[in-house]
Amino acid sequence: MKTILMGAIILGLTACSSDSSDDNGTTPDITMNGYRIELVNLTNNQHLSPPAAMLHDGSFSAWEIGKPASDAIEVLAEGGNNSKLIMLQQGNPTFSGKGELLAGKTLSFEIGSSDDKLSHLTLATMLVNTNDAFTGLTNIDLSAMQSGDSRTFLTPAYDAGTEFNDELAAHVPGPVAGGEGFNAARDDVTGVVTYHAGVVSRDDGAADSALTQAERFDNPVLLVRITRL
């Protein structure tokens, strides 16, 4: 609840500061270090869990290829719950989407800070019709961006390495299956964060899969456009 409130406050501040003539001397001027983020879900039928975004200094990395996922990433990647990840940046600017970002849809929001040391962006969201696939960016240095500059990223699907990709209805939380989300057991074959191998689906021979051809995806899965305010 607290983190949702924090996101709302940031949106509010952004709205104030977008009016440059409104200088009441109390609102931090986040245009000093503010960004508009646009997310486009590039998949056919992988809804994305409420995206989490946060600004931080360069000392935080939410995940790393070849390393076991943190509990926060496991909770997000298996069940779409971003609260643990956002809690890791308590006190820094954070944002949480209010709902899922549906396939083909665009989400646009602003995030910022008056502290120019908080110049690195992390963003994460789950592909909900999977066992433990997620996408995003982590520890992206935005400090070289000037006002009006824009950068675009195309992000791959990652596998959290925390849940075997059985694609069973009991283990896929998204709307095509309605199964379990987070489970603390870790039973994947390699146990570390990697790129995702894609889903098989019952249309491609996995007879007990809850997924169809519609949930298959290829890289990239998300477009991220960042514009410095």
What is the rounded distance in angstroms from the CA atom of residue 131 to the CA atom of residue 45? Answer: 15
- Binding of residue 159 to another protein (CB under 8 A): yes
Q: Which stretch binds another protein (CB under 8 A): 6-14, 41-49, 105-113, 194-202?
A: 194-202
Please say whether the beta carbons of 31 and 110 come within 8 A: no
- Calpha distance 110→36 (Å, rounded): 4
Closer residue to another protein (CB): 96 or 155 = 155
Q: Which of 31, 38, 145, 164 binds another protein (CB under 8 A)?
A: 164
CB count, 10 Å around CB of 24?
A: 6
**Rounded distance, CA 63 to CA 128, Å?**
19
Q: Does 206 help bind another protein (rule: CB under 8 A)?
A: yes
In the region spanning residues 41 to 70, those forming contacts with another protein, defined by CB under 8 A, are: 65-67
Q: Distances in Å between the alpha carbon of 220 and those of 20, 77, 104, 152, 157? A: 37, 17, 13, 12, 7
**Minimum distance, C-beta of residue 125 to another protein, in the bound complex (Å):** 18
Beta bridge mates, 95: 53
* Binder among 170, 195, 203, 213 for another protein (CB under 8 A): 195
46, 172 Cβ separation under 8 angstroms:
no
- Tell which one of 40, 200, 214, 223 touches another protein (CB under 8 A): 200
Enter the tokens of residue 77.
């990647």
The identity of residue 124, as a single letter, is A
**Six token digits for residue 158:** 């990652």
Upper half-sphere CA count for residue 22 (Cβ side, 13 Å): 12
Residue range at the interface with another protein (CB under 8 A); choices 16-24, 35-43, 54-62, 201-209: 201-209
The minimum distance between CB 164 and another protein, in angstroms, equals: 7
Instruction: Figure out which of the listed residues 194, 214, 223, 225 binds another protein, where binding follows CB under 8 A.
Output: 194
The reply on whether position 148 binds another protein by CB under 8 A is no
Figure out which of the listed residues 170, 197, 203, 213 binds another protein, where binding follows CB under 8 A: 197
Which residues would be at the binding site for another protein (CB under 8 A)? 65-67, 156-157, 159, 161, 164-167, 189-190, 192-198, 200, 204-208, 218-219
